[in-house]
Structure formats: C-alpha cells, structure tokens
Chains A and B, each alone.
Chain A
Amino acid sequence: MSAQPQSVAPTKPTRSSNIPWAALPFLIIITAMVLLALAAPLVAPVDPNTQNLLARLKAPGTVSRGVTYILGSDELGRDVLSRLIYGARISLFVAFSSVLLSGTLGSILGMIAAFYRGWVEIVIMRLVDIVLSVPAILFAIITVAVMGPGLVNVVIVLALTRWPRYARVAYGQTLSVANMPYVRLSHFMGASWLRLLGRHVLPNIAGSLAVVATLEFGLMVLFEAGLSFLGLGVQPPTASWGAMLSTGRNYVATAWWIATFPGLALFLLVLSINLIGDHVRDRLDPKAR
C-alpha cells in the first residue's frame, strides 16, 4: 500500500449538469413498478389467484391449458408473473400509506414538541427515544400478536413504530427555524400556531423530512415483505412478495423460480429507492457525501 497523499485529499465533486443521469435507470425501475402495480388487472397475464392443480410447480415457459407460465407456476399452479405484478400493489400500497401516516404523525408531533417546549416536549421526545431504542420488529411482533395479521394492521403497525424517525428530524429542524426573526415577528403579529407551523416552519423543514421519507419508503417495503414472510403480514391467498418468498423457501430444491423472482423484484425496488434517497440527500446535504 503506497497511496500518495494526493489521493486522499478531498476532491471537488464535479457537476456538469443538473440532470441526475446516474439515478435515471433506477427512477425508470420505480416508475415501471408503480405503473405495473396500478395497471395490474390490465397487464397481468392471468388472475393471480386462479389455481391450476395440473400445472403445479411448472418451470418458467411451461404452457398448460392455453396459459404460458412465463415465470413458472407455484405450488397451487398459480402464475408467478401475475402474482408478482399484483404483489407490487401490496408492497407499494403498504409502503406508501405507512410512510404517509407515520410521516404526518411524526412531523406534527415533532413540530409541536419543538414549538411548545416544556412538558409536552419532554413527553413526546422521551416517547421518541423509547420507541427508537427498541427494534421496530419487536413492536411489530407484539402488535400483530395482539391485533392479528392483515393488510390494514400491517399499515397501522408500521405507522405506530416509525413515526419517531420523522419526529426527531422535525423536532430538531423546527427548533432552529422557530427562532428565526421572521417566525418570531409573525408570532408577535398575532399569527395562530397553526399558521406559524404550517406557513413558516413546515416549508423550511419539508426537505429534510422528504429525505427521511424516501429512505423510510425502502425500509417499509422490506418491513412489509418481512412481516408477510413470517406470516404476520398480508394473509393468503393475497399475493405479496414476502409471502411468495415464504412459499418459495419450502421449494428451494424443486422450484427455484418461486423464491427467486419475488426476491429479485424486492431487491430491485429497494435498491432503486435507496439510490434515489442517497441522491436526494447528497443534493440537500453535501456534507454527507
């Protein structure tokens, strides 16, 4: 190892254009998945829950009863490709609604904590510390054990366990914004707290919250798949990537395609989201590069 000192000197990032070419392919992947999910009934070759017991565990490309199983069939003879497309709906729906719910809840609580200070601040931020110090999957497990599994419950679980992420960011950012002269002036002029937070504080902290939301979105996709994989999330026969993987695990020796394709879809989606998230963060916070 004979690295020259020059090689370690911080290099200036060169930005010739504003178009994020490197992120483009991943943006295309995400867009394609969203479109496929939205148009699932139109693009899926067959109904995702139609069973064909004569065509169980058929390899990709098999034709049976006039249906071509492009990505193979599962243990009940259902088309893997169709289930994959419908599964995208579940993944994106759960991730989107849980990010929306936890983001809204967390941002509001964080802003309120920073704005009111005093005991409100202590209660909210202590709760944030507690929830963040325990791995989210533990809360998810006990909540599912109490409420039972299911699509709506998964969203509720994720919203309830992930809001502190946003609250912490909203809190910190609001603290610095709330003391800006124009905010204080607005306060003196008699603006209500709703107007203060909504008009003056929120626009200033929205960027940081958006970065958290992007990174959380990828995590939520993984969480939904993980819970469904464990049988704690979306219940059969609804197609979910996590549940498909769980089935595929039982057939690793005989039918590799059942676990491979949903895993690949999950990996591509999460990778794309993470890359875009990194990109957004780099733009907003060059220090984190």
Chain B
Amino acid sequence: MPIFFAKRLFQALIAIFGVMTLIFFLQRLAGDPVLLLVPMDASQADVDRMRIALGFDRPVAIQYLEYIGNLMFFDLGRSYVQNIPVAELIWTRVPYTLMLAAGALVVAFGIGIPVGITLAIRRGRPIARLLSALVLAGQSMPTFWSAILMIMVFGVWLGWAPPSGARELSSIVMPSIALGLLSMATFARVARTAVLDELEKDYVRTGHAKGLPMRRIIFRHLLRNASIPVVTVSALEIANLLAGAVIVETVFAWPGLGQLTIQAITARDFMVVQGVVMLGAITAIGLNLVADLLYSLIDPRIRMGAGS
C-alpha cells in the first residue's frame, strides 16, 4: 500500500508540474508575454519598461525557474490591474464556489443515485424508461440554458427565488440545481451500471435462494458493493462541478471563482486568470489522486493491478 500511494503521489506531482510548464509555454505561444500584462493601448516605451520591471528581458530558462520557484511557495503573483496579490483575490471568492459546488453535489447525488438504482432494478419497466429519458435530457441540456430557464420561470414569472446574486440564503438553490443537473445524469448512469453488474453476481442468487426479500438483498448486500465505482466518480465529478461553476456563476452573477475569472479575462488581468486556472488544475489533479486512492482502499484488487 505505501508503495502504491507514493507512486500515485509522485504521478500527481509530475502532472501538476506538467500543467505549470504547459501554462508557462502557452503564455509565450502568442508572442510577447508582456503584452498580456499591460493595457491594450500601452505605448512601446511602457511595454519596454514593464518588460524590464517584470524581468521578461532575461533568458527564458531563468524566467521558467523563477516561475516554478514562485509557484512552489504558493506565490501566484500580483494582479497588475487591481494591484493586490492574486492569492488574496482568489481567497475571497473560494467560499462561494465551494458553497455552490457543495449544493450541486447534494442535488446530483440526492437525485442521481436513487434514479440510477431505480433504473437498474426496474429495468425495462415504464418507470425506468421514463427516468432514462429524463436522464438523457438532463445530460443534453446545456447548463446555461437550464439556468436561464430557471431564472425565467422561478425567478421572474413565479418569483419563488431571487433571480441572481448572493444576498440571501435562498439564492443558492437555483445555481445548485443548474450546476447539479449535469452531474446528476453521470451519477445515475454510474449507479445504474454498478447495480446492474452486481445483480448478476452469485451472492444475489444465493440471497434469492434462501428466500431473502429483494429489498434486503439490495439494501444490505448489493448497494455496499455497488458503491465502489460511485465513490470514485464522486471525486472526479467534484472537479467537473468546479469547472462547470464558471458558467453557472456567470449566469446567476454568483460571486465565486468563475465570475472572477471571466471578469479578469475581460479586464486583461492575466495573472488572476493564470492563478485560478492553476488552482483549478491542481484541485482536479488532487481529486483524481483521491479517487484512485479511495478506489484502492475499498477494493484492494486495483492495487495489485496498478503494480504491474
């Protein structure tokens, strides 16, 4: 186990390092990185002064080492537009995005899992057909459209929830549902497949043979085994939820990281964009790692396979 753990951790570190390097070279892909940091109408003299002030006149190798070094100590740089450290700016927004992601996870899990189980055990029945049509619809529904429809119907026409912003507690309901719908479909699919796989196993037949009621077989025995893939997918879905938050936050004017990013792009505040993307990438890689470790903890067979 420790060897597997160390190996997987090392892989994650390599991945983070890789993402940092990708972003570094991406900045230089379009030409002069200084142009990303100055206003559109800056004069050539200003650009040159900025280049020297920020150290972009030095060899690329040195810039790269400094860049990696700063990131190692969690220094995301300064926002040149707002003139405050990027980390500070990000920190004020993190709670909102986390709240939104948590709400969405509750929606996705709370609806997706029961739906998935129903799809599996009522396979072929009208209820399963209806639910699977709904799941497919949920999967094909663009988040920004379902969000706008919700604002239109519940926010404007019925007036049940505030249409946007984050001033009241009830503000979080609609963004959570909008963000959770897509993951709901994923959870339903995974739960369905997992339960279907388990239904074919011998212990289910044994349960039938000794006369256990179906309810008991499912709740006492089957769900425990079927939970393995669901747990893994949960960790990966959180990463998707955080990414999807960019759009949902924009629609609902929710003051989280996504909104910050889009505002930063519009204001040409490149350091902030880079900081958020870096944070998102590291979180996603971390969640991937957690998913793998959870999987191997619950099901030791994975560990053996990974060693080869």
Contacts and interface: CB of A to CB of B under 8 A. Distances in A.
Q: For the side of the interface on A, what is the size category?
A: 35 or more
B121 A126 contact: no
A142 B26 CA distance: 8
B281 A146 contact: no
A248 interface: yes
Given A146-B30, A229-B144, A252-B151, A271 B137 contact: yes
Contacts of A135: 239-240, 242-243, 280, 284
Given A245-B145, A267-B142, A145 B36 contact: yes
Contacts of A242: 144
B294 interface: no
Q: Main secondary structure on chain A at its contact with chain B? A: helix
Contacts of A252: 148, 151-152, 155-156, 163
Contact of B29 (A8, A144, A147): A147
Q: Main secondary structure on chain B at its contact with chain A? A: helix
Interface residues of B, number: 64
B18 A141 contact: no
B24 to A, nearest CB: 11
A148 B250 CA distance: 19
Interface in A71-87: none
B281 A226 contact: no
B76 interface: no
B266 A231 contact: yes
Contacts of A155: none
Interface in A239-289: 242, 245-246, 248-249, 252-253, 256, 259-260, 263-264, 266-267, 270-271, 274-275, 278
A84 B296 CA distance: 49
Interface of B: 11, 14-15, 18-19, 22-23, 26-27, 29-30, 36, 121-125, 136-137, 139-145, 148-149, 151-152, 155-156, 163, 199-200, 204, 208, 213-215, 239-240, 242-244, 246-247, 250-251, 261-262, 264-266, 270, 273-274, 276-277, 280-281, 284-285, 288
6 contacts: A126-B14, A130-B14, A134-B281, A137-B243, A230-B262, A249-B144
